[in-house]
Structure 1
């Protein structure tokens, strides 16, 4: 997993994410509200979501490729209100069986995966028919001028500074192209989350995998 080692960014992200949690905690609770059964969290980072899983979740398989963040997530897992197993792995090759999860969670991760289409195909693979994908991601701005700035940054310095992050992706479109059906989508901005441009705006929502839930 050498290509997924970002030691400087990981330490910076861990510190800044702690400072942002006062603004983000409510959105994390909203993201996870109503989940039940077995959940796979893709790109768990330092484990900031763990404290907000509802008791109806029977277990979380948390996948994180960056070693420093994975260590922090393992510590956070010990204090989670539900069972959480933190493992090494990447979004494009999830270490989970077909149709083994009731829900998947992607939180500020689809911006940084190498191949978003492959990552979403993997989430669809491991979800049961009708399973839910919960997502909270920063995306391309609506204003053309801001989108151009994001595109320029994504092509130059932003991925280097942000651990592979691309600020201007069309994540909602990618989710639909992967075969999911969007059932809820809300746009957020800096006033909602405290995250500045180019990491603003963000989207939070739910999509459903093909098939009917048993």
Structure 2
């Protein structure tokens, strides 16, 4: 399935993204993408919020987005990108790219919403060239048992239906390890800077090779 229509979420998400950018998420996106080179595949590009933050050292970005309305908005965002961006329909579980064809794969607030993290990460590994890296910016499981329980309730009930399949409490770092990826850089932060069920984020990079 190359397209996945979520019309309500697709219209609400850009407003959420603009609010997050104004609150400082744009700086996090710049940190996420800093130093990238060569060919990049971005999974779940949304409305193209990352595009303006790619460094000029990137040769080309292939941006994958399953939601039709968000692809339209992403196309409009291409003009703000300092690099060449091509947008295609597709899903994380079946990337439209050949084996070992990109230098980096980018996930930004996507691994929380994919149906199967391990399948998505296996696809990312498949398309990476030897020595390539995965960059990730994701919200994850809370660091307190109480908030983690709240996340579990939200994820089992209303949250995924309201926010495009998003899950607040996934163990994304564990998923990276299970995919035999070694996290080389990791930053944990709260956004917003308060202990809420949706505030726990990680930002970093990983390469093939398993746990350190």
Q: Are 1:70 and 2:108 an aligned pair? A: no
**Total equivalences in the alignment:** 209
C-alpha distance in structure 1 between counterparts of 2:101 and 2:203, whole Å:
24
The runs of at least 4 aligned residues of structure 1 exceeding 4 Å deviation read: none
Gap change, CA 1:210 and 1:96, over 3 Å in 2: farther
Q: Are 1:40 and 2:41 an aligned pair? A: yes
**After superposition, where does 1:1-214 map in structure 2 within 5 Å?**
1=1, 4-22=4-22, 23-191=24-192, 197-210=196-209
C-alpha distance in structure 2 between counterparts of 1:124 and 1:3, whole Å:
22
Q: Could you state the TM-score of these two structures normalised by the residue count of structure 1?
A: 0.93
Per-residue deviation, 1:210: 4.0
Per-residue deviation, 1:2: 8.7
SS in 2 for 1:10: helix
**What per-residue deviation string (whole Å, max 9, x for no partner) do you get for residues 47-88 of structure 1?**
000001001100000000011111111111133100000000
C-alpha distance in structure 2 between counterparts of 1:182 and 1:210, whole Å:
9
Per-residue deviation, 1:32: 0.3
Per-residue deviation, 1:130: 1.5
**What per-residue deviation string (whole Å, max 9, x for no partner) do you get for residues 132-161 of structure 1?**
100000000010010001001111111111
Structure 1 contact 130–210 (Cα < 8 Å) conserved: no
Question: Gaps spanning 5+ residues in structure 1: where?
Answer: none
Structure 1 contact 127–209 (Cα < 8 Å) conserved: no
Structure 1 contact 185–205 (Cα < 8 Å) conserved: yes
SS in 2 for 1:78: helix
Structure 1 contact 129–210 (Cα < 8 Å) conserved: no
Q: Could you state the TM-score of these two structures normalised by the residue count of structure 2?
A: 0.94
SS in 1 for 2:180: coil
SS in 2 for 1:77: helix
Per-residue deviation, 1:15: 1.1
